[in-house]
Structure 1
């Protein structure tokens, strides 16, 4: 088996998560957040559309992590994000963290808006 080390350039990956927190690049962040190649920001949840649409032009796709279980994103959130020209993929938070890490490791322009796993 041939293993290749993943480099993240300037982006910070998810290192882990637990009840109410995320570990990102060695730092612990509590609560819902948005992680993108430019940094990390708090996220107010589904009603906080402005934080996501502000990323237009810097990223192509946002992964929404819905917590421990997958759930539908509200139509207003989906409509606003898509109107800003961004793709939206909804999955549970563990899958969103893994997917973000893989794609940002490939140099893709992605973000993850994640709700904590309780």
Structure 2
């Protein structure tokens, strides 16, 4: 079997996660976090729509990690993001981390807004 090494170029993959934290590019982020190919840092959570709307034109899809379990995001949040041209894919935060890394390795225009796991 042939294995292929994954390359992220200069983008920042998610290295790990656990209760209350995400590790990106060897930095630990505590609480809700926003991860983009060019940056990673704190995010204000589901009420912080402005930070997500600032991604319009830079990403095509936002992976919305809803915590330990999948949940539906507020309808207004989803509608406003889609009106700005950003597709929204809600899932559990662990699934969002894995999906982000896979799509990032393919060079996709994505970001992950992540709620912590408890």
Give the TM-score category using the shorter length: over 0.9
Counterpart for residue 12 of structure 1 = 12
Partner of 1:33: 33
Q: Which ranges in structure 1 are unaligned for 5 or more consecutive residues?
A: none
Q: What is residue 62 of structure 1 aligned with on the other side?
A: 62
**Which residue is equivalent to 1:86?**
86
Q: Structure 2: give runs of 5+ residues left out of the alignment.
A: none
**Count of aligned pairs:** 118
Query: Cα offset for 1:44?
Result: 1.0
After superposition, the CA RMSD in angstroms is: 0.7
TM-score w.r.t. structure 1 length?
0.97
Q: How many Å apart are 1:41 and its aligned residue?
A: 2.7
Q: What is aligned with 1:103?
A: 103
Deviation digits for residues 48-84 of structure 1, max 9, x if unmatched? 1111110011110000000001100001100110011
Between the aligned partners of 1:114 and 1:77, the Cα distance in structure 2 is 14
- Runs (4 or more) in structure 1 with deviation over 3 Å come to none
Contact 2:63/2:112, CA 8 A, preserved across alignment: yes
Q: Which residue of structure 1 lines up, in the alignment, with residue 52 of structure 2? A: 52
TM superposition score normalised by structure 2:
0.97
